[in-house]
Structures are given as C-alpha cells and as structure tokens.
Homo-oligomer: A and B are copies of this chain.
Amino acid sequence: MIIDGKQAAADLRVALANEVKALKESKGITPSLTVVLVGEDPASQVYVRNKAKQTMEVGMISNEIKMPADTSQTALLSQLALLNNDASIHGILVQLPLPKHIDESVVISAINPEKDVDGFHAMNSGRLLNGEAGALVPCTPQGCIILAKQHLGDDLSGQHAVVIGRSNIVGKPVALLLLQENCTVTIAHSRTKNLPEVCQQADILVAAVGRANFVQASWVKKGATVIDVGINRIEADSSEGKGSAKAKLVGDVDFDAVSEVCGAITPVPGGVGPMTIACLLKNTLEAAKLYG
C-alpha cells in the first residue's frame, strides 16, 4: 500500500476549514498566521507562497513579512517583539534557513512559545517531552504519525518503532510522539552499529537522515510501515535522452525495492511533505484555540 500524503493533507485541510469556521462562529476568532522571510532564497520563497495559499484556503488570515537579506539580527528580533505583542496574530513562523549572520537559536527562542507554530521553542519541546498540556508540536513529526495511522489505525500501542535520525526538527520529536502512542521506540543514527539489524525489528520505520535511497529492502521487515521523511534532490537518470540531466526528488528509502517488502510506504514526493504545511495550519488553529 502506498500511503497518499497528498490526500491525507487535503482531508486534514477540509477538517481544519470546518474547525476554523466553527471557531469564527462560536468565539469570533479568525486564526492568523504570520510568516517572516529574511532574504530571497528561492526554495524558501516557494514554501512561503504555498503556506500563504493554504492558510487562506482553510479560512485563516495569512500575513507575510519579507525582510531584506542584510537585515540585522536586532532588527529581526524587534520585528518579532511586535508580532509577539500583537493579540490578533496567533502563529508566528520564521522561515529557515536564515542568512548566516543571524543566530537561528536566538531567533527561535525569541518567539513567544504560545505563537511558536513550528514547535521549535524549548518551552514547546519541553512540554512535548514531559507530556504537558499546551505544547505546539513540530509539524513534520505530527504528519508522520497521521500517515502511520492511515495504515495501522489509531492504536499504535506495542508497535516497535525505529527512527533513523535524531534531529531536533524530526528525529527526536517523532520518537517522542511514537512513545506517547505507546510504541517501543528505538532511535538510531550515524553512530549506530548494525543499523540493518536494528531496522529489521521495526514495525514502524521512520527514515529522517537526508541521504538519498539510504534504507535498503533487506533492512525492512515484511509488512512494516515505512515513513520516509527525506527529500533529496538528485540528478535524474540521463538515459531518458534529454540533453541536460534534470534534478529529481527522492526520499531516504529505496522506494522501488522497499515497496516489495513493506506493508505500506509513504512516497517522495507526495508523502510526508504535503503533511507538513497542513500540520502547520493545525498548529495555528491550536494556538488560536489555546491562547487566542
């Protein structure tokens, strides 16, 4: 089974649009998301445009603040202070990566945790770790759980989940969400010995390493659910006869071979990717409900 992230994201957006409508009617609150983009990174511009489009589609207010690439850290922090104090704004997202002269960790910790819809602020990480109420949880990990449940149903209890990768953005938070779902969780990474054997135990295998086609079919248990978080740009096969090689997106999992073994798998593109923005909108609604 191929898990259709595009469809799951569309379904989630429909549900969110209904909730947004209900919140407007019951409380008179329209959730509002502000995205701050510093500089002109082309990929970031595409992301920001998509975010704005989808934000409006679910009935929320979208606000884009674009600042020049040479914006000082102080100026960015001043901008964030204004947004933190603006009661009409429920979610603030600073598009990463930032220009090199700005310290991302300083910027992230300057966002009001109640508006930190990326879920990267230490207060939100800590609430996630401690299972406390009020956490805004990183978007991509939330998407992974939703997609795993598409195949396995809502009860993941007792499943052995193996997460490859231990980043703050994906690996660690997805491991904690799987633990919350009562999975036995193994976190593997570049220093792990016998990675194939460790992966072979996985009922749920989450790959978040950023290496194209890294996970091999021989590492995957028959019937496992495979969630591929990687988005790697590689040269397309030039045998197609077009003169210049084109770039092509692939995941961290050798999709064709692993598909033959696993029970379900998320494709790249069209798997976890589309869920990330949908979960960002979910967080914005959550922030408006919790703190608006």
Contact = CB atoms under 8 A, between A and B. Distances in A.
A193 B184 CA distance: 8
Contacts of A166: 179
Chain A interface mostly: mixed
A51 interface: no
A24 interface: no
A131 B198 CA distance: 24
A172 interface: yes
Given A121-B126, A129-B129, 5 more contacts: A122-B126, A124-B126, A125-B127, A126-B128, A179-B189
A182 interface: yes
B160 A193 contact: yes
A179 B188 CA distance: 9
Report, nearest first, the 9 A-B pairs whose CB atoms are least far apart.
Answer: A126-B126, A122-B126, A125-B126, A186-B186, A182-B191, A184-B192, A125-B129, A130-B168, A158-B193
Interface of A: 105, 120-132, 157-158, 160, 166, 168, 172, 175-176, 179, 182-189, 191-193, 198
Contact of A130 (B122, B175, B189, B198): B122
Contact of A184 (B160, B172, B191): B191
A187 B191 contact: no
Interface centre among A105, A122, A183, A186 (most CB of B within 10 A): A122
A268 to B, nearest CB: 25
A157 B191 contact: yes
Contacts of A185: 186-187
A179 B184 contact: no
A135 to B, nearest CB: 8
